[in-house]
């Protein structure tokens, strides 16, 4: 559901349609792996670009126990931690990708700093598992609820606070070899997001 907001007279004069709030239902991060991995990603282990079904199209191949991580800068305000639709409500937050990996993936929100600091920063971590080499298929996973380390400040009466998603990390299990392409990340700023 998209939230329509009142528009200024200037915008209304230009368009009869309603306005969407900034970043509602907008993909926050996307990579089709057509730019070499080393330009935008950090990685460890066996990670390489491979050609996919069509000539000139590429994907990332992640070998057993390997990882790759991309920096993010996504800030979200949690309005009221006592509101059932506020802290921890995860609709509108998802990761989507194409893969040949047949296993069961795991998606988590973890601290960006260890131990977790008071800065409320987080990393989105996707662990791919199973064998690759099958047919490419689209996967979509909802992000879990916000974990305790992103919780509100201890100050009474403080109703809103910011969380920051600072990185997205892709990993494979110890025996997995997975190819991944067309990665999209949604962390909504709308009524159905964090």
- Quick check: is 78 in a domain? yes
- Quick check: is 71 in a domain? yes
Question: By C-alpha distance, which of 17, 15, 16, 21 is closest to 3?
Answer: 21
Report, as an integer, the average pLDDT of 93-112: 92
List C-alpha distances in Å: 150 to 102, 114, 154, 157: 32, 13, 12, 17
As given in the structure block, the two tokens for residue 129 are: 């598992």
d(CA 75, CA 28): 10
Give 8's Cβ-side CA count (13 Å radius): 2
* Domain, as residue range, for 66: 23-187
d(CA 68, CA 179): 12
Q: CATH number, domain at 56? A: 2.60.120
Look at residue 150 in the predicted model and tell me its pLDDT.
84
- Quick check: is 9 in a domain? no
- Quick check: is 8 in a domain? no
DSSP alpha helices (H): ranges in 65-136? Answer: none
Look at residue 15 in the predicted model and tell me its pLDDT.
34
Look at residue 152 in the predicted model and tell me its pLDDT.
74
- Quick check: is 35 in a domain? yes
- Quick check: is 3 in a domain? no
Question: By C-alpha distance, which of 70, 163, 80 is closest to 119?
Answer: 163
pTM of the full structure: 0.80
- Quick check: is 90 in a domain? yes
> 10 Å Cβ neighbour count for 186?
21
- Quick check: is 12 in a domain? no
Cα-trace Rg, the chain: 19
d(CA 162, CA 77): 4
Domain count of the fold of the chain:
1
Give per-residue pLDDT as tens, 105-158.
999 999 999 888 778 899 999 999 877 777 888 999 999 888 888 877 776 666
Give per-residue pLDDT as tens, 1-59.
233 233 333 333 333 334 434 455 678 999 999 999 999 999 999 999 998 776 668 99
Look at residue 81 in the predicted model and tell me its pLDDT.
56
């Amino acid at each position: 559901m998209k939230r329509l907001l009142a528009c200024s007279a200037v915008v209304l004069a230009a368009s009869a349609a309603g306005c969407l709030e900034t970043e509602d239902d907008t993909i926050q991060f996307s990579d089709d792996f057509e730019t070499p991995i080393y330009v935008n990603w950090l990685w460890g282990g066996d990670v390489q670009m491979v050609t996919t079904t069509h000539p000139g199209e590429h994907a990332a191949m992640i070998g057993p126990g390997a990882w790759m991580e991309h920096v993010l800068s996504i800030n979200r305000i949690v309005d009221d931690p006592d509101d059932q639709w506020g802290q921890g409500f995860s609709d509108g937050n998802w990761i989507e990708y194409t893969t040949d990996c047949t296993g069961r993936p795991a998606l988590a929100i973890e601290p960006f700093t260890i131990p977790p600091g008071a800065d409320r920063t987080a990393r989105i971590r996707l662990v791919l598992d199973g064998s690759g080499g099958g047919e490419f298929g689209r996967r979509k996973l909802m992000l879990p609820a916000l974990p305790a380390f992103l919780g509100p400040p201890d100050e009474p009466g403080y109703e809103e606070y910011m969380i920051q998603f600072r990185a997205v990390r892709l990993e494979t299990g110890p025996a997995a070899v997975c190819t991944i392409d067309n990665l999209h990340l949604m962390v909504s700023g709308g009524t159905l997001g964090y």
